[in-house]
A and B are shown apart, each in its own frame.
Chain A
Amino acid sequence: MSSGATADATTLANPRELPLELPASYLADGRTLLSWLATTDHKRIAILYAVVITFFFFVGGIAATLVRLELFTPQADLVGSDTYNKLFSLHGIVMVWFFLIPSIPTTMGNFLLPLMIGARDLAFPKLNLVSWYLNLGGGLLTLAAVLAGGIDTGWTFYVPYSTTFSNSFVTLAVLGVLVSGFSTIATGVNFIATVHYLRAPGMTWFRLPLFVWAMYTTSLIFVLATPVLAVTLTLVVAERSFGLPIFDPARGGDPILFQHLFWFYSHPAVYIMVLPAMGVISEVITCYARRRIFGYSFMVYALVAIAMIGFFTWGHHMFTSGMSPYAALVFSFLSFIVAVPSAIKVFNWTATLYRGQIGFESPMLYALGFLGLFTVGGLTGLFLASVPIDVHVQDTYFVVAHFHYIMVGASVSAYFAGLHFWWPKITGRMYPEAWARFAAILMFFGFNLTFFPQFIAGYLGMPRRYHVYPPEFQVWNVLSSAGAAVLAAAYLMPLGYLTWSVFFGSRAPNDPWNASGLEWRTTSPPPRQNFFGNPEVLAQPYNYHPESTPPIKDQPRVPSQGSLT
């Protein structure tokens, strides 16, 4: 193995650290700001994305904190109604489009996809940089809307309120989302081309790690669904800013048309938010259980099935809009069908633990939390797919709790699991494990305390987007807000110790977790060209034990996926 060592190839070094010779790292490959802002290295672009989405995570989080503070009491005491409406709209728009949708694909996907398939970079590196600028531009436009006075339509922009009645900065915010949509389309195109064309020798489709499959299916949704959002938002801008009659019922339009167009994108969008999380969990659970994934091919088919069937189910957001019972029936049926592959995945992850050698490192704690929270969230989706129950709980806190269980309980847990799992690879540093475990456990309990009472409040009839509410809902709101405080602490902790680790964490070896996967067959952090040599794949992924025997003893991973020569 060539070491390519240089004396000062490190960055952010602890001055008390010994000046060991360390291999060249992508972090040291250019030290100016321009080398970062004009980079085409997928790894640096992943870091750029991570900075932006972390910023937006905390912006959305502050909005959520203010919302939950206001909801401590049934009356209005913290903010006025218009401000409250702007706060929850800000929370939704920022969290959905500027945190969750980009989160795993643009940070971990960008960083790891080429590494996992043995490539030097993505298929279109410059397009990757353009994607980041589009994301940044969209984010700045939306921030401009917020600073100018905010938008109060909710993240769903329902017409005619957003086109005709709202007095807030709808066009500006909508343009921000539109621009960032193009960022994701470009990323999707990039990923699809990369997986098709840049796999290393020996990396066949059914030897791909499940994270790569997850990125691939997510990219399919990106390119098929996001253009519809672009069109829909363009129509909203056309009606609001140019007065063209499109949805306005007074001039022959139909507000329900907007709902169909919007949800045709936004339902697959939730699968954009969950498929990458599932990919991460597959990687983490196999590593810390020292087991091959149970039912690899079913896991692949499940990912593809969720991506495809998810396009047919959007009407379940509109059951109470006066939809005909026949259309409602079709959408309800399809919504039940799409739950089946997700259930299969949960069963397979559970079975992967069977006869494993399970460790409880912090990524595994996040992954186990994911299993519980995703199961609860997914099952409450069945409640919402049943039309009579949906009629009662639509637009109440039951729905809010359901989607937060999946988007926060599952997706954000998986994001943190992946962040911790690949942190040594990305930064070359280890984080303090005790703090990480504490944060993971705190997050699990804080999350449940925040969102489980919302199921109850929702069934009791508390509507969502309510600034003031009837007093009988107060106890559940107080519980929820208390939980939110715990959850906020649990999210701030990683910000603290992960930042600390970048400066003072101990240096990470190439493969601290003894994991399979090509990304661990190179240095931590990797060099600019990803590998020292040409990787070649010799066998199935998740080679934690020989195929027919489970890990009888905790044995080192059988080396089979690639090498460093």
Chain B
Amino acid sequence: MGNLIPAFLKPESASVQAAKVDMIFTGLTLISAGIVALVIGLVVTFAIRFRRGSRANRGELPSLVSSEFEIGWTAATLFVFLFIFWWATSIEIGAYSAPKDAMEVHVVAKQWMWKTQSASGAREINELHVPVGAPVRLILTSQDVIHSFYIPAFRLKRDALPYQQTETWFQATKTGSFHLLCTEFCGTDHSRMLGRVIVMEPQDYARWLSAQPERDGLAELGERLFTARGCSGCHDAGSKVHAPSLAGIWGQAVPLEGNRTATVDEAYLRDSILQPKRDVVVGYEPIMPSYEGLLTDGEIQSLVAYIRLGTDKLDLIQSLSLEPSQNICAPGQSSASPRSPAMVPGAPAQTPRP
């Protein structure tokens, strides 16, 4: 029944759940159209037939119309609505838990991008490649505010909450590229937090997987340092401090005070960390504190490697384990502040690793 909906009025149906949702939607639309037609039809009919001064018969009300009649249509309405509830719920109950063999994907949402990592280790930004026909279980969290992971083609949506994990699953039935949208208002670029879910045939997926790059260990260390030592407190998007974003600046020419320019290379980054007030980029205040004596040479090297790789290319999927040092929620907050990972009294202190 779901394919009664014309194609231009619905997104693609690319998952098992999509077909079921379309089916209920069609059914509900038909029932609603019937009720609307009934009400509007009666109103229009009565308005014409019983317009003031018309010669329609207005004798005694038929004995049919009495309080039993009212109770009757109340009961009928109740039964119709309860039927719809039962029908919709039966589809929801069956669909709630992921199959046991579902492939696990971790999603971390942050202002304003999606970071995904599949169980096979492939990490992606704003994209997710999955094989067609395989159930995929999504475990979602957020690094800052509440976001919502929405794939219209799969009729799938789940909020990503900070310091919590939420879960959902899908099974794609068609190959192709489908929109991924954020649907919980999360700030300035909420509407630009777009992504793609790319569903591939199993052999294509296997080929794609084997082509994923190895991770650079030094950059990974740099990324941990970046957050642990508080750099992200100012340099991350969403920070209250006006600090330049470091994504993609490697090799760029940046304008400095006094009409000079500098190219962002290893030397420039080292100077910016140790003597930040020397070459400040135009448009920014010289407020960055110096890290002289606070970072070893090796640590500075890791940070440079991280910025060289691209701060938006690597992510901390293991932040899902909610270790304090790696998941700093609010700008300016350091890993030193005490945090309770428990969301409710009596919950275990360490959430189990997925």
A–B contact, 8 Å CB criterion (strictly below): yes
Q: Which of B24, B73, B82, B92 has the most CB of A within 10 A?
A: B92
Within 8 A of A (CB), among B157-172: 157-159, 161-164, 166-167
Interchain CB contact under 8 A, B61 and A550: yes
A-B contact count (CB 8 A): 273
Q: Is the beta-carbon distance between A160 and B60 smaller than 8 angstroms?
A: no
Asked whether A167 lies within 8 Å of B150 as measured between CB atoms, the reply is: no
Interface 9-residue window, one of B176-184, B250-258, B291-299: B176-184
Contacts of B67 in A (CB 8 A): 295
Fill in one digit per residue for B63-90: 1 if any A CB lies within 8 Å of its CB, else 0: 0010100100110011001101100110
Q: Out of A161, A459, A465, which one reaches B25, CB within 8 Å? A: A459
Say yes or no: A388-B91 contact (C-beta < 8 A), given A320-B157, A358-B46, A460-B152. Answer: yes
Q: Encode contact with B along A156-175: 1 for CB under 8 Å, 0 otherwise.
A: 00101100111100000000
A460 touches B340 (CB 8 A): no
What chain B residues lie within 8 Å of A461 (beta carbons)?
11, 150, 152-153, 179, 181
Q: Does A525 contact B (CB under 8 A)?
A: no
B152 contact from A339, A392, A465, Cβ within 8 A: A392
Question: Do A465 and B157 touch (CB < 8 A)?
Answer: no
A466 within 8 A of B: yes
Whether a CB of chain B sits under 8 angstroms from the CB of A512 is no
Which of A117-125, A193-201, A367-375, A477-485 lies at the binding interface? A367-375
Q: Are B329 and A248 in contact (CB under 8 A)?
A: yes
Contacts known (A376-B36, A467-B191); A386 close to B28, Cβ less than 8 A: yes
Hey, which chain A residues are within 8 Å of B186, CB to CB? 161
Once bound together, how far apart are the Cα atoms of A340 and B77, in whole Å? 6
* Interface set, chain A 273-320, CB cutoff 8 A to B: 289-290, 295, 298, 320
User: Does A500 have its Cβ within 8 Å of any Cβ on chain B?
Assistant: no
Enumerate chain A residues within 8 angstroms of B20, measured Cβ to Cβ: 388
Q: What residue in chain B is nearest A85 (Cβ atoms)?
A: B188
Is there an interface contact between A358 and B157, defined as CB atoms closer than 8 Å? no
Determine whether B343 belongs to the interface, using a CB cutoff of 8 Å to chain A: yes
Contacts of A250 in B (CB 8 A): 162-163, 328-330, 333, 337, 339
Task: Closest A residue to B9 by CB, please name it.
Answer: A456
Q: Give a binary string over A447-467; 1 marks a CB under 8 Å from any B CB, 0 the rest.
A: 000000000100111011111
Chain A contact-residue range equals 35 or more
B281 near A: Cβ within 8 Å? Answer: no
- Known A165-B144, A322-B161, A375-B35: A382·B192 in contact at CB below 8 Å: no
Question: Are B329 and A325 in touch, CB under 8 angstroms?
Answer: no
Asked whether any CB of chain B lies closer than 8 Å to the CB of A2, the reply is no
The verdict on B17 contacting chain A, using a C-beta distance below 8 Å, is yes
* Chain B residues in 8 Å Cβ range of A346: 39
User: Quick one: CB contact mask for B24-66 with A, threshold 8 Å, 1 for yes?
Assistant: 1100100010011001101100110011110011111100010
Q: In the bound complex, how far is the Cα of B329 from the Cα of A275, in angstroms?
A: 42
Within 8 A of B (CB), among A329-358: 329, 332-333, 336-337, 339-340, 343-344, 346-348, 350-351, 353-358
Asked if A153 lies at the interface with its beta carbon under 8 angstroms from chain B, I say yes
Q: Are A382 and B28 in contact (CB under 8 A)?
A: yes
Contact flags (1/0) for A205-218 with B, using CB distance below 8 Å?
A: 00000000000000
Pick the residue among B24, B159, B184, B190 that contacts A389 (CB under 8 A): B24
Shortest distance from the beta carbon of B67 to any chain A beta carbon, whole Å: 8
Residues of B within 8 A of A467 (CB): 190-191
Q: With A158-B184, A249-B162 as given contacts, are A328 and B92 in contact (CB-CB < 8 Å)?
A: yes
Residues in chain A near residue B81, CB distance under 8 A: 336-337, 339-340, 343, 382
Q: How far is the CB of B213 from chain A (nearest CB, A)?
A: 29
Cβ of B148 under 8 Å from chain A: yes
Q: From residue B244, how far is it (CB to closest CB) to chain A in Å?
A: 17
CA distance A298 to B70 in the complex (A): 8
B190 and A465: CB pair below 8 A? yes
B328-351 at interface with A (beta carbon < 8 Å): 328-331, 333, 337-340, 342-344
Is B98 interfacial (CB 8 A cutoff)? no
CA distance A391 to B150 in the complex (A): 9
Contact partners of B107 in chain A: CB under 8 A? none
Bound-complex Cα distance A328 to B21 (A): 17
* Residues on B with beta carbons closer than 8 Å to the beta carbon of A386: 24, 28, 84-85, 88-89, 92
Q: Is the CB of A355 within 8 A of B58?
A: yes
Report A-chain residues with C-beta under 8 Å of the C-beta of B145. Answer: 158, 160-161, 164-165
Q: List the A residue with the shortest CB-CB distance to B66.
A: A295
Find chain B residues with CB under 8 A from A290 CB.
52
**Cβ contact within 8 Å between A160 and B185:** no
Known contacts A158-B185, A254-B343: does B58 contact A375 (CB below 8 Å)?
no
Residue B146 at the chain A interface, CB threshold 8 Å = yes
Residues of A within 8 Å of B43, CB to CB, are: 350, 353, 368, 371-372
Q: Given the interface contacts A394-B183, A465-B191, A468-B191, does A372 sit within 8 Å of B339 by beta carbon?
A: no
- In the complex, chain B residues whose CB is within 8 Å of the CB of A459: 9-11, 25
Chain B residues lying within 8 Å of A339, measured Cβ to Cβ, are: 81
In the bound complex, what is the Cα–Cα distance between A516 and B187 (angstroms)? 53
Chain A: CB-nearest residue to B20: A388
Alpha-carbon distance between A256 and B92 when the two chains are bound, in angstroms? 22
Are A249's CB and B17's CB within 8 A? no
A320 CA / B189 CA spacing, docked (Å):
21
Closest to A334 in B: B85
Is there an interface contact between A357 and B50, defined as CB atoms closer than 8 Å?
yes
Q: B residues 123-159 with Cβ under 8 Å of A?
A: 144-146, 148, 150, 152-153, 155-159
Instruction: Please determine whether B159 and A320 come into contact, CB atoms closer than 8 angstroms.
Output: yes
Chain A residues, Cβ within 8 Å of B73: 344, 347
Cα-based distance from A165 to B152 in the complex (angstroms): 28
Q: Is B208 located at the chain interface by the 8 A CB criterion?
A: no
Interface flag for B240 (CB, 8 Å):
yes
Contacts of B50 in A (CB 8 A): 289, 353-358
Binary interface encoding of chain A residues 528-565 relative to chain B, with 1 for a CB under 8 A from any of its CBs, else 0? 00000000000000000000111110100000000000
Tell me which residues across on chain B come within 8 A of A4, comparing CB atoms: none
> Do residues B53 and A353 form an inter-chain contact, with CB atoms below 8 A?
no
A164 neighbours in B (Cβ, 8 Å): 145, 329-330
User: Is there an interface contact between B70 and A336, defined as CB atoms closer than 8 Å?
Assistant: no
Min CB–CB distance A93 → chain B (angstroms): 14
In the complex, which residues of chain B have a beta carbon less than 8 angstroms from the beta carbon of A343? 77, 81
Query: Any chain B CB within 8 A of the CB of A321?
Result: yes
Contacts of A456 in B (CB 8 A): 9
10 additional contacts, CB 8 Å, given A250-B329, A394-B157?
A81-B188, A252-B340, A333-B89, A354-B61, A356-B46, A358-B52, A376-B36, A389-B28, A391-B21, A470-B194
Can you list 12 A-B pairs with a CB-CB distance of less than 8 A? A152-B187, A160-B162, A165-B144, A250-B163, A250-B328, A252-B342, A325-B92, A325-B96, A344-B70, A358-B51, A368-B43, A551-B58
The 4 closest A-B pairs by CB, nearest first: A461-B152, A386-B88, A322-B166, A249-B163
